[in-house]
Amino acid sequence: MITHGCQMNEYDSHLVESQLVALGAEMVRSVDEADFVLVNTCAVRGKPVDKVKSVFGDLRKLKHSKGLMLGMMGCLAQLEEGQQIAKKYEVDVLLGPGALLDIGRALEGNGKFWNLAFKDDINSFIAPPPQGRLSAMLTIQRGCDHHCTYCIVPQTRGPQVSRDPDDILKELEGIVAAGSLEVNLLGQNVNSYGLDRAGFPSFAELLRRVGRSGIPRVKFTTSHPMDFTDEIIDVIAQTANVCKYIHLPVQSGSDRVLKRMGREYTAQWYLERIERMRSVMPEVFITTDLIVGFAGETESDFQQTLELYDAVGYDQAYMYLYSARPGTPSYAHFDDLPKEVKVERLQRLIERQKHWSQLKNTALVGKEFEVLMRGPAYEPSFMEGHSSGHHTVLLPAGQAPIAGIYKAKITHATPHMLFGEVTQTVRQVSFAPMQPFSPVTSSASMG
């Protein structure tokens, strides 16, 4: 399995891998050992689509030389664009994000199998807990009922469907029993959970119940500002094991651009949400997503994004060049800006982000945090982990030799990382966790 895209794709890859293993497949580490390679794809920007083409270009050669069977799943598979790519590169199995549990049926025939239906079974499927994961993912809702004009996701993932709360809590029980110390609740708009189903708990109530499961740390991503209620803020504040960390994509600081993006809020409204979060939780860490160079964005619009960045003072931000995606309303109705304009603005925004992240991280020097340490960092004298505020933290390897939760005093900060010294061992795990941040690149062998 080769996985591109967001955490929701990583979770889906785990679902499919668990099905393959149940069918007797052995997961192998390299394409050379595999006889079936399934690529989980992303379509959110042009770049991931290009990446898929290049991966399938290589795989098609192997298909011809050694009879490899090829599969495409995920967001790109759902689109006409992806189906054209699948035809061109001679893909045998194609599964849209709502048809993943058909993987067994797809492999029965050994021939061409394409399914793009959004089926209910995926939402009631309780995934077996991933083994050896300090931090486990748990998808609680799929799809999106918002219609941002730049975004392809409503087309790839369909309308929102919230999972049954009992299924979610049962899956969580398995995660706790498997020894994970953190759960990350996932959804395209995780905090819109329940809005599509009468009688389902709200996201705030679900978070409360997840907090009671006893798992040491709870995170969630991604939240839509429009559905971030006061009740959610209060539950985060009142629930000890819910991390005081909120990822709240703003996309732009200009009301004119926000309106053209179909984001449903103004910059002022968004700032008031942030104010409310900080009035209840002064210590909360806030990160965001920003799109630079949206179609028609003027220099003055971009200045307003920089102003909003300063007004919030984000701990971290994920910044993207606007990518005009065929099939989205903004692609059809607005002209794209020249690439040089977008790139130059992105560079200025990155400078702003570095400035703020350095400032925010430096303010943490001397403070103590609980850090979830996963394993060796790229530099072997350090162990790498994550704070509850989602910072990457490096601690001396000798002080945190076993994965688990440690209390650490921050000694040094860069815009992207915190360094610290262990002050207390809180909890260690008895398994060797999967290595952090390694791309998911196992392949299935049906031999």
Q: Residues interacting with ligand SAM, by CB under 6 A?
A: 6, 44-45, 150-151, 153, 188-189, 222, 224, 249, 251, 289, 291, 320, 322-323, 325
CA 234 vs CA 140, 208, 303: distances in Å? 20, 10, 33
- Residues 258 and 251 sit within 8 Å (Cβ to Cβ): yes
Count of CB atoms within 10 A of residue 58's CB? 12
CA distance 250 to 310: 13
CB 197 → ligand SAM: shortest distance, Å?
19
- 88 or 147: CB nearest ligand SF4: 147
Among 2, 6, 55, 395, binds ligand F3S (CB under 6 A): 6
Residue 9 binding result from ligand F3S, ligand SF4, ligand SAM, none, given CB thresholds of 5 to 8 Å by partner type: ligand F3S
291 binds, among ligand SF4, ligand SAM, ligand F3S, none (CB under 5 to 8 A by kind): ligand SAM
Nearer to ligand SF4, 145 or 370 (CB): 145
**Rounded least distance, CB 300 to ligand SF4, Å:** 24
- Positive or negative, the Cα torsion across 415, 417, 419, 423? positive
Residue 148 interacts with ligand F3S (CB under 6 A): yes or no:
no
Answer yes or no whether residue 8 interacts with ligand F3S by CB under 6 A: yes
For position 142 contacting ligand SF4 by CB under 6 A, the verdict is no
When asked if residue 305 is in the footprint of ligand SF4 (CB under 6 A), the reply is no
CB-based contacts of 118, cutoff 8 Å, min separation 6: 96, 98, 99, 143, 158, 161
Measure the CA–CA gap between 419 and 243, rounded to whole angstroms: 20
Q: Which stretch binds ligand F3S (CB under 6 A): 4-12, 177-185, 348-356, 404-412?
A: 4-12
Least distance from ligand F3S to the Cβ atom of residue 126, Å: 21
Give the C-alpha distances (Å, rounded to integers) separating 333 from 116, 246, 256, 336: 27, 33, 15, 10
- Torsion angle of alpha carbons 222, 299, 414, 6, nearest 10°? 30
Residue 163 binds: one of ligand F3S, ligand SF4, ligand SAM, none (C-beta under 5 to 8 A by kind): none
Q: Answer whether 416's CB lies under 8 Å from 355's CB.
A: no
Buried b (16+ CB within 10 A) or exposed e, 359-389: ebbeebeeeebbbbbbbebeeeebbbbbbbb
44 binds ligand F3S (CB under 6 A): yes
**CB atoms near residue 309 (< 10 Å):** 21
Contacting residue, 151, 172, 175, 444, with ligand SF4 by CB under 6 A: 151
Where are the extended beta strands (E) located within 143-237?
161-162, 182-186, 217-221
Nearest by Cα to 220 from 206, 201, 200: 206
The interface partner of residue 183, options being ligand F3S, ligand SAM, ligand SF4, none and the CB cut-off 5 to 8 Å by kind, is none
Q: Between 6 and 16, whose beta carbon lies closer to ligand SAM?
A: 6
154 binds ligand SF4 (CB under 6 A): yes
DSSP bridge partners of 443: 28
- Which x/- pattern, by CB under 6 A, does the window 182-221 give for ligand SF4? ------xx--------------------------------
User: Shortest approach of ligand F3S to residue 43 CB, angstroms?
Assistant: 4
Task: Indicate which of ligand F3S, ligand SF4, ligand SAM, none lies near residue 8 (CB less than 5 to 8 Å, by partner kind).
Answer: ligand F3S
* 3-state secondary structure (DSSP) of residue 160: coil
Choosing from 85, 136, 153, 172, the residue that interacts with ligand F3S (CB under 6 A) is 153
**Six-digit token pair at 283?**
């210590």
Tokens encoding 187: 């959804």
* DSSP strand pairing (26-28 vs 417-428): unpaired
Chosen from ligand SAM, ligand F3S, ligand SF4, none, partner binding at 5 (C-beta under 5 to 8 Å by type): ligand F3S
Distance CA 5, CA 118 (A): 19
CA distance 55 to 7: 20
User: Is the Cβ of residue 221 or residue 304 nearer to ligand F3S in the bound state?
Assistant: 221
User: How far apart (Å, rounded) are the C-alpha atoms in residues 202 and 393?
Assistant: 33
Number of residues that bind ligand SF4 (CB under 6 A): 10
Q: Closer to ligand SF4 at the Cβ: 139 or 387?
A: 139
Q: Which does 325 bind (CB under 5 to 8 A by kind): ligand SAM, ligand F3S, ligand SF4, none?
A: ligand SAM
Q: Which is nearer to ligand SF4, 269 or 431 (CB)?
A: 269
Q: Which stretch binds ligand F3S (CB under 6 A): 38-46, 230-238, 261-269, 342-350?
A: 38-46
Residues at the interface with ligand SF4 (CB under 6 A): 144, 146-148, 151, 153-154, 188-189, 224
